[in-house]
């Protein structure tokens, strides 16, 4: 879904390089009423974006295999 990539990038650019965002923010922009169902897609798309870094507790993680909450930010 190309809209996911654009939404991730748009929110990340709004935040800037020093701040992160929760993947749920992206999902809520795209599917406000059913955002939970979008979460796997947001993580999948983020994993394929070289300009995006996923972290958990400040450590880089793979968004596809990380369990629990992650954050996304520009590299």
Identify the pLDDT of residue 2: 66
For 2-74, CATH gives 1.10.10.10
From residue 66, how far is each of 20, 32, 59 by CA, in Å? 16, 24, 11
* Residuewise pLDDT in 10s, the chain (75 residues): 469 999 999 999 999 999 999 999 999 999 999 999 999 999 999 999 999 999 999 999 999 999 999 999 999
């Amino acid at each position: 879904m190309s809209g996911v990539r654009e939404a991730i990038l748009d929110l990340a650019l709004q935040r800037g390089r020093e701040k992160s965002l929760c993947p749920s923010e992206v999902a809520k922009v795209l599917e406000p009423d059913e955002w939970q169902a979008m979460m796997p897609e947001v993580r999948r798309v983020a994993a394929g974006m070289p300009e995006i870094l996923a972290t958990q507790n400040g450590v880089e993680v793979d968004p596809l295999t990380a369990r629990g909450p992650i954050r996304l930010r520009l590299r």
